[in-house]
Amino acid sequence: MEGAGAVLFDVAGTVFSDALQARIWSLAAAMKTLPGVSEAVPGMNNLMIVFDPLAVAPETVERRLLDAWTAGDTAEIAGRLIEIAVDYGGAGGEDLPDFAARLGLDVEEVVRRHTAPTYSVAAVGAMPGFVYLSGLDPTLTMPRRALPRMSAPVGSVMIGGAQAGIMPVTAPTGWHILGLTDTVLFDPAAEVPVLCRPGDRIRFVARSLTR
């Protein structure tokens, strides 16, 4: 998909693939070396390339994308392991009781399954610092809320479909809120405004559980 000064390279299927995402990260790194490219932004099994059409022709960008993808390189990304302490349930995790009931689980089991995996930061986007996390236990998959919440507080730890995420700012969302963390994902005044980068790994740690 192409626009004036941008190309979206999309390999997403019906199910997210960690292997394809690793190739997307490598493709992003390769595309950043092309003169005229200003940004290479990984999404979920896709990549947005932003470029100056006066400095590089769209055809050149597309050809480089296809050549690099065909080469099939997957570079190792030395991501960090970040632990996120979460207070589950209560006022900060108001969806947890209903979420557990709809799955036929008790809240303790939902928390156990949510904290068991090591998640991968597949992409950062949608809003500054928002992390799309792969690795969710498939038994916790649930469609987004039919009626989105108009204001989810910063630090909300959530599930939407087959993905886990954390709210970096207060904003509307249709995801299910299970808990709250005080870990800061986005600080516009910091030298590095966002905490997480694609390829980082995240472990959720249950600090408390309120039924």
Give the pLDDT of residue 211. 85
Give the pLDDT of residue 18. 85
Domains identified in the chain, total number: 2
The strand ranges marked E within the chain are 2-3, 6-10, 37-42, 46-51, 81-89, 119-124, 131-134, 149-152, 156-160, 163-166, 171-173, 176-180, 201-210
41 lies in some domain: yes
Model's pTM, two decimal places?
Answer: 0.84
Same domain, 67 and 85: no
Out of 71, 103, 132, a domain closes at 71
Same domain, 129 and 152: yes
Same domain, 90 and 191: yes
Burial label for 49, CB within 10 Å (0-12, 13-18, 19+), is buried
How far apart (Å, rounded) are the C-alpha atoms in residues 52 and 49? Answer: 10
pLDDT in tens, the chain (211 residues): 555 689 999 998 888 888 898 899 889 988 999 999 999 999 889 999 999 999 999 999 999 999 989 887 776 677 899 999 999 999 999 999 999 999 999 999 999 999 999 999 998 988 999 999 999 999 999 999 989 999 999 999 999 999 999 999 999 999 999 999 999 999 999 999 999 998 899 999 999 999 8
143 lies in some domain: yes
Out of 21, 37, 71, a domain closes at 71
Same domain, 43 and 89: no
Q: What is the CATH number of the domain that holds 38?
A: 3.30.1360.40
How far apart (Å, rounded) are the C-alpha atoms in residues 107 and 140? Answer: 12
178 neighbors 110 (Cβ within 8 angstroms): yes
Q: What are phi and psi of 185, to 5 degrees?
A: -90, -25
76 lies in some domain: no
Same domain, 96 and 190: yes
Same domain, 30 and 133: no
Same domain, 38 and 88: no
Same domain, 25 and 98: no
Q: Domain containing 144: what range?
A: 81-210
